[in-house]
Amino acid sequence: AKNGIIVLKRPLGTSSDSNSDSDEEEDSMSEGEMARLMEEVEEKKKLIATIRNKPWRMKRRLVLLREAQQFVDKFEGALGKGKGRKWYAYKVMMTKKWIKFQRDFENFRTACIPWERKIKEVESHFGSSVASYFIFLRWMYGMNLVLFGLTFGLVVMPEVLMGLPYGSIPRKTVPRAEQDTAQDYSVLMDFNGYCKYSVLFYGYYNNQRTIGLLKFRLPLAYLMVGLGTFGYSLMLVIRTMAKNADVGGGDGDEGEFTFAWKMFTSWDYLIGNAETADNKYASITTSFKESIVDEQENQKDENIHLRRFLRVLANFLITCSLGGSGYLIYFVVKRSQEFANRDDLSWYEKNELELIMSLLGLVCPPLFETIAELEDYHPRIALKWQLGRIFALFLGNLYTFLFALFDEVNTKLEEEGSIKNASIWAMKEYYANFSLPVNDSDATPPPMDPGDVILGPCWETAVGIEFVKLTVSDIQVTYLTILIGDFARAVIVRFLNYCWCWDLEAGFPSYGEFDISGNVLGLVFNQGMIWMGAFYAPGLVGINVLRLLSSMYYQCWAVMATNVPHERVFKASKSNNFYMGLLLLVLFLSLLPVVYTIMSLPPSFDCGPFSGKEKMFDVIMETIDLDLPAFMGTLFSYAANPGLIIPAVLLMVLAIYYLNSTSEAYQNANMELKKKMQMVSKRICGVPSDEDFNQEEPKKQHRQHQPGDEGPGGPAAQSLPGPARPAGAWLVSSRASCRCGTPETGTDQPPALSLWSEQRNPRSLKENRPRPEAEPPGRVLTCRKT
Amino acid sequence: MGNKQTIFTDEQLDAYQVNSFCRLHGRYHELAPHLVPMDYTNEPDCKIPLALIVNMPELKENPFRDRIVESFSEDGMGNLSFNEFVDMFSVLSEMAPRELKAIYAFKIYDFNVDNYLCKEDLEKTLNKLTKEELTPEEVELVCEKTIEEADLDGDSKLSYADFENMITRAPDFLRYLVFVETDASKPCLCMHLSIFIILQYFTLLCTKNKIICSTLLLTNAFLICKIF
């Protein structure tokens, strides 16, 4: 169905013969009359323009419209403003078209947001906290998509299209020794063979300064894209944090009208499908339950000292376990370094490091959760603590991994020196041996077959391979865990229930709940791995995009099919800033190793886009020297002077301090204005303009003052809020009488509720003001006690 | 849709130049073909009863459908003439301003039509919204909290002034009281498919393994079948 829009148009029947009358009238009108007439015409025009906003019945509107239009037509001719009508109609038509265009564009944009319906379905059944994980996943997907586009478009495609093909130079060819097994599935799964010598990894890229017709500077592009990945991610995370801080910003505590809004604005009038309607009912019920939980938390009333003691105890226990796991990891890493020197290792010793780390990852989170029950926090806050603790645990894993990786890199760097010599020697040998059989000394020997050249160890590709293997094994572990931990469990509980002694569904295993903290942290750390590895393996971002895409569908299915909602459904905090904060931290942590290697480690001599240079960022220097005009070079050298950089940093610190203090000042001003607004709105509480709304019914006086018998309000509360009484006192007394006098809200109310509500209500601020009236404060206090 | 000339006179059409006016009339006619005449030139006085109107697809799943139709009908029983029908669509479109929607929203939620949202009205609203899934204590708690939040003049029921004050600040209000449909999400599925194909090309470049390529081809076929 389309909308009904009412546009005024001149009704037929008013003809131009009215103008002839007006001619005569014009002569007889004086200045004052003209002015008055103009005013009336303006008024009628305004009425015509706003007639659709009036809540009158259609008939009345039509009648009034005709009258007003006739009036305007009759006298407009007299005032010579005949053209206005057509222009007005044209303007209205353009406005309509513009609004339609905007609506279509908004619809298109909303339709382009993927998985909206899926997430809404999950939200309606599991609540907003579980849905927030999926929203976070979707956001990550968007970011990775952009990064993938950048890498693919600026690094991979140029090398594929304009660079040398596979097999032409040694770095792009599988060495002869490995060529037999290069296509085997097992070799490919280890990312050796053809995978290793492909665009996936750093080693494939050639170090030619410009390639192809377009003179595309690939090494420069590679470095810029690598750094740009971090820059873009940083900007995006911070922008999202800022946007979230804008929207309410609070932790579910904003808005004075939580329940009222939920009741009156939660139903979506667009729903026409029975299933969607069911989902919506479920989601509204869940949302009310969430708010009720919040409300009840606020009313809890307990022994503070016991709680504090338990919390301290819990934190102590958890710190102990974190310390213990840190030491365990350190110990195991030391042992694995010893093992690396030996050859006769059992399976356990070979995989000890990975086993211990996985065990820790599996055992510690549930342990933390159990200990956290001592603390008895609101579920949302408990979730945050849990996230923080598991984060600390995973940092240990990260630290181990990096440690091991750096060891490997250093070994390879040492190896490089010797292999370089060996390679050059082999080359010389080849040419020496070759020239002998040929008699013609002018002939140039053909270049050595690329498969035969001895390649250096190429530490960057090795690092890339490590990261890719880690990501892939992470994917496998996650999917298997969901399959076994959730799906198999659900199947067993469902079907074994028929022949089991106790009720499996209600009792021990039952169905799993969706583990929000584990999944969120998995996502965050996975992204950290991607950021670290993307510089050494450009294809890693593509793999991640695929992973996130399939993860979304897989996890949505798993959640709907195998999980049950949490027992205490709680509202996620409106801003997603906690997750973003974690992500930011991980971003910085992953930035550091990459920047360190770019700045200080020398690139391999025969693989990658920076081969042959002293340091990777020499590419930039080269570009500045060769490609940019001379003055830019001097400009950059000035800019890089420490004497300029240190004052710039100082200036930025000062700017941050200044902006911080202004924002605090604005926040304070905001609070003051809010309080004022509330005071004013409560003062004006009987808005008189109900004429339009209530045309048939008798006008009711909305300034309801309590009838005299309504309790201890007394004579002082009876009169209108005249200037003689301070408004605050009137409000207080009316509130008091409302609480004590009205029978419905009387004694059956639990005392805690009114106590809490009195405290939270800003009106209570007025209770402290000295009042000249005969209302002793005791009256209000007695109300509270009931 | 019929010929404009035979249903309405030019004058009538001119008077309210409604967008898709004929379609609205078509829908009105469809609801009760035997009651509604095709010829509206004499401005006939026919009304369609409530029971027929709430079967419209836009209203069928709405928990407040009865109240919506009743608040637009002049007799308060839910029988809509064509003018009122047009009125209903007009108010519930996106072109209608916020104040107008607020006025009608108040009417809709006022079950006992006394110009106040008292506790019984709120309880009825809540039960309709949650299909009576909440316990009576929870219902009580929610209604209490709602009145407490929005009631400014302290009479423990919401007058229009209280309601308007509360609803104009709601961020979602305008979005929800609207009757227009949105399109399905084909564009995003196509986008995903294209991304998937790019990634496949990528894998082909890197691995040159037959098994992997054929698995990807199969997944491709599956996805295309699912989308189209």
Nearest Cβ partner of A58 from B86, B109, B208?
A: B86
Contact yes or no for B177 and A269 at CB 8 A: yes
Decide if pLDDT at B212 tops 60.
Answer: yes
The C-alpha of B224 sits at a distance from chain A's nearest C-alpha, in angstroms, of 15
Mean pLDDT, to the nearest integer, of A105-117? 77
Cβ(B203)–Cβ(A546) below 8 Å: no
* Report for A306-310, A363-367, B138-142: range of highest mean pLDDT: B138-142
Mutate to test the interface with A, among B152, B174, B175, B212 (most CBs of A within 10 A): B152
Which among B24, B87, B156 has the least Cβ separation from residue A744? B156
Contact A688, B164 (CB under 8 A): no
Give me the pLDDT at residue A653, please.
96
pLDDT the model gives residue A580: 87
Q: A25 pLDDT band (50/70/90 cuts)?
A: very low
DSSP B79-120: -B-HHHHHHHHHHTSTTS-HHHHHHHHHHHH-TT-SSSB-HH
Q: What is the pLDDT of residue A305?
A: 83
Highest mean pLDDT among A230-234, A610-614, B168-172: A230-234
A217 pLDDT exceeds 80?
yes
In 3D space, the residue among A594, A603, A613, A599 whose CA is nearest the CA of residue A208 turns out to be: A613
**What pLDDT shows up at residue A663?**
92
Residue A742 pLDDT level (bands cut at 50, 70, 90) = very low
Q: What is the mean pLDDT of residues A246-272?
A: 67
Beta carbons within 8 Å of A345's beta carbon, 6+ residues apart: A339
Q: What is the CA radius of gyration of chain B?
A: 26
From the list A110, A183, A274, the residue facing B182 with the nearest CB is A110
Q: What pLDDT, on a 0 to 100 scale, did the predictor assign at position A573?
A: 60
The answer on pLDDT for A449 being more than 50 is yes
The stretch B110-136 carries a mean pLDDT of 89
pTM, whole model, 2 decimals?
0.65
Q: Find the CB nearest B161 among A257, A288, A687.
A: A687
A156 in B contact zone (CB under 8 Å): yes
Q: What is the pLDDT of residue A530?
A: 92
**Would you place residue A481 in the very low, low, confident or very high pLDDT band (cuts 50, 70, 90)?**
confident
Q: Which residue has the higher pLDDT, A66 or A776?
A: A66
- The predicted complex's ipTM stands at 0.74
Q: What's residue A505's pLDDT?
A: 74
pLDDT given for residue A408 in this prediction: 79
Contact criterion met (CB < 8 Å) for A693 and B103: yes
Closest partner residue to A700 (CB to CB) among B115, B205, B206 is B115
- The reported pLDDT for the residue numbered A439 is 57
Query: A257 and B169 in contact by Cβ < 8 A?
Result: yes
**What are the pLDDT digits (tens) for A523-573?**
888 899 899 999 999 989 999 999 999 999 999 999 988 887 766 555 556
pLDDT at A706: 38
pLDDT band at A431 (very low <50, low <70, confident <90, very high): confident
Residue A209 and residue A217 in contact, taking contact as beta carbons nearer than 8 Å: yes
Local confidence band at A761 (pLDDT 50, 70, 90 cut-offs): very low
Question: Hey, which residues 452-491 in chain A have their CB within 8 Å of chain B?
Answer: none
What pLDDT was estimated at residue B163? Answer: 87
Q: From the DSSP assignment, how many helices (H) and strands (E) are in chain A?
A: 26, 2
Q: Which of A83-87, A96-100, A277-281 has the lowest average pLDDT?
A: A83-87
CB A458 within 8 Å of CB A608: yes
Overall average pLDDT of the A376-395 stretch: 81
User: Which among A58, A145, A737 has CB closest to B87?
Assistant: A58
> What is the model's pLDDT at position A436?
57
Kindly list the residues from chain A whose CB atom is less than 8 angstroms away from the CB atom of residue B91. 55
Predicted confidence (pLDDT) at residue B116 exceeds the cutoff of 70 = yes
Residue B188 is nearest to which of A5, A111, A545, comparing CB atoms? A111
pLDDT at A252 over 50: no
Query: Quick check: A700 contacting B, CB < 8 Å?
Result: yes
Task: Give A45→chain B minimum CA distance, Å.
Answer: 16
Best A5, A268, A280, A461 residue to mutate vs chain B (most B CBs within 10 Å)? A5
Note the pLDDT of residue B175. 56
User: What's the pLDDT at A693?
Assistant: 46
Helices (H), A167-269: 185-189, 218-246, 258-265
* Chain B residue numbers touching A188 (CB-CB < 8 A): 207, 209, 212
| Minimal Cβ distance to B89: which of A3, A263, A693 | A3
Mean pLDDT in chain A?
A: 74
Q: Confidence band (pLDDT; 50, 70, 90) for A514?
A: confident
Residue A116 has pLDDT above 90, yes or no: no
Lowest mean pLDDT among A230-244, A417-431, A761-775: A761-775
Res. A737 pLDDT band, cuts 50 70 90: very low
Name the band, by pLDDT with cuts 50, 70 and 90, for residue A669: very high
The answer to whether residue A283 scores a pLDDT higher than 90 is no
Give me the percent of chain A exceeding a pLDDT of 70: 75
Q: What is the mean pLDDT of residues A604-626?
A: 85
Across the interface, whether the CB atoms of A3 and B192 are under 8 A apart is answered no
Measured CA to CA, the distance from residue B19 to residue B6 in angstroms comes to 18
Q: Of A179-188, A364-373, A747-756, give the lowest mean pLDDT range.
A: A747-756
8 Å CB contact of A6 and B17? yes
Q: Residue B194: what pLDDT?
A: 75
* More confident position, A704 or B7: B7
The CA angle A123-A124-A129, to the nearest 5 degrees, is 35
Residues on chain A touching B129 (C-beta within 8 angstroms):
263, 266-267, 281, 284
Q: pLDDT band for A143, please (50, 70, 90 cuts).
A: very high
Q: Is the pLDDT of residue A704 over 50?
A: no
- Chain A residues whose CB is inside 8 A of the B184 CB are 111
Residues 582-601 of A with CB under 8 A from B: none
Out of A332-336, A625-629, B204-208, which region has the weakest mean confidence (pLDDT)?
B204-208
Q: What is the least distance, in Å, from the CA of B177 to any CA of chain A?
A: 6
- Asked if the model's pLDDT at residue A773 lies above 70, the reply is no
A441: confidence class by pLDDT, cuts 50, 70, 90: low
Tell me the average pLDDT across B215-228.
74
> What residues of chain B lie within 8 A of the CB of A266, using their CB?
129, 172, 176
Report how far residue A96's alpha carbon sits from residue B17's, in angstroms, rounded to the nearest whole number: 12
pLDDT cut 90: percent of chain B above it:
1
Residue A306 has pLDDT above 80, yes or no: yes
- Contact list, B152 vs chain A (CB under 8 Å): 681-682, 685
- Rounded to whole angstroms, what are the CA distances from A366 to A195, B72, B163, B199? 38, 57, 47, 37
Q: B5-41 in b/e burial notation, b at 16+ Cβ within 10 A?
A: eebbbeebbbbbebbbbeebbebbbebeeeebeeebe
Q: What is the mean pLDDT of residues A66-77?
A: 76
Give the SS3 label for residue A330. Answer: helix
Contact yes or no for A260 and B176 at CB 8 A: no
Nearest to A3 among B95, B141, B162 (CB): B95
**Per-residue pLDDT averaged across A157-168, rounded?**
84
Contacts of B146 in chain A (CB under 8 A): 259-260, 263
Nearest CB neighbour to B148, from listed A145, A703, A757: A757
Q: Residue A710 has what pLDDT?
A: 37
pLDDT at B51 over 70: yes
Cα separations in angstroms, A71 against A58, A416, A506, A655:
20, 96, 76, 63
Q: Supply the pLDDT for residue A692.
A: 42
**Nearest CA among A608, A143, A218, A605 for reference residue A418:** A605
pLDDT at B140 over 60: yes
Per-residue pLDDT, A237: 93
Could B185 and A116 be called an inter-chain contact, meaning their C-beta atoms sit closer than 8 Å? yes
The pLDDT assigned to A556 comes to 92
CA Rg value for chain A:
38
pLDDT tens-digit series, residues A358-370: 777 778 888 888 8
Q: Which residue of A has its CA nearest to B173?
A: A265
**For A3, which of B94, B115, B155 is closest by C-beta distance?**
B94
Tell me: pLDDT of A631 over 50. yes
Residue A390, min C-alpha distance to chain B (Å): 33
Of residues A248 and A761, the one with the higher pLDDT is: A248
Measured between CA atoms, the residue of chain B closest to residue A110 is B185
- Report the interhelical angle of A58-79 vs B82-91 (nearest 10°): 80
Q: Quote the CA–CA distance of B148 and A738 in Å, as a whole number.
A: 11
CA distance B195 to chain A (A): 9
Could you say which of A96, A194, A737 has the minimum Cβ distance to residue B208? A194
* Least confident among A151-155, A691-695, B32-36: A691-695
| Pairs of residues, one from chain A and one from chain B, whose beta carbons lie less than 8 Å apart | 285
Sign of torsion over alpha carbons A206, A207, A211, A215: positive
Please check whether residue A148 is in contact with residue A540, taking contact to mean a CB–CB distance below 8 angstroms. Answer: no
Q: Given this model, what pLDDT does residue B171 score? A: 67
- B196: pLDDT strictly greater than 70: yes
Top residue of A147, A264, A288 to mutate, by most chain B CBs within 10 Å, is A264
Q: At what angle do helices A218-246 and A516-533 cross, to 10 degrees?
A: 150
Contacts of B177 in chain A (CB under 8 A): 269
Is A200 or B200 the better-scoring residue by pLDDT?
A: A200
Determine the pLDDT at residue A227: 92
In the structure, what pLDDT confidence band is assigned to residue A182 with cuts at 50, 70 and 90?
Answer: confident
* A686-703 per-position pLDDT tens digit: 444 444 444 444 444 334
Place of tokens 């200990």: A371
Listed by number, the residues of chain A in 389-418 with a beta carbon closer than 8 Å to a beta carbon of chain B are: none
Residue B198: its chain A contacts at CB < 8 A?
Answer: 152
Q: Which residue has the higher pLDDT, B217 or A669?
A: A669
Query: Is residue A704 within 8 angstroms of chain B, CB to CB?
Result: yes
Cβ distance A589 to A539 under 8 Å?
Answer: no
Residues B149, A267: C-beta atoms closer than 8 Å? no
- What is the distance between the alpha carbons of residues B123 and B154, in angstroms, rounded to a whole number? 19
**How far does the CA of residue B21 sit from the closest CA of chain A (Å)?**
7
Give the chain B residue nearest A750 (alpha carbons): B141
CA angle A19, A21, A23 (to 5 degrees): 75
